[in-house]
Amino acid sequence: MKLNRLLVFAFLLSVGTSSALAQESIRLQFEVVKNGSTVATPEVSVISDSAGSIEVEGVGKFAFTPASRGSDAVAITFDISSGGKQFQPRLVIGRKQPGSLSWTSETGESFKLKVSWVR
């Protein structure tokens, strides 16, 4: 009888742990650069596999969905509307390895979006 209770407890513990990991919050630091000048540095926390977004006046809207890839990587899918363009890039970043995206608008302005995973 005690073995059955132990197995049930171990199962509940593993299910609870899996659920907690699935709900992990991911904090991202963005740096938005327009024509070589930083125009915004928002920091956003989002639950893994949930959508978030930021909008920067004069630059555009950045919707994103981060997904945890273990303890040392995050894959981020973007939906970006900026400079008369819309595109859906994907980045994989690490705790010590930030990522960035660059593009040019239809009018020749240059943009860069830098992303870091913050603890």
The pLDDT tens digits for 17-54 are 444 555 789 999 999 999 999 999 999 999 999 999 99
Cβ-in-10-Å burial (0-12, 13-18, 19+) of 59 comes to buried
pTM: 0.78
For residue 59, being part of any structural domain is answered with yes
pLDDT at position 65 over 80: yes
16 falls within a domain: no
- Mean pLDDT confidence for 76-88: 93
Q: Report the alpha-carbon angle 53-75-11, nearest 5.
A: 105
DSSP state of 71: S
Residues 70-89 have a mean pLDDT of 93
Helices (H), the chain: 2-22
Q: Is residue 9 part of a domain?
A: no
What's the number of domains the chain is made of? 1
The answer to the question of residue 3 being in a domain is no
Hey, how many other C-beta atoms are within 10 angstroms of the C-beta on 100? 13
Q: Is residue 6 part of a domain?
A: no
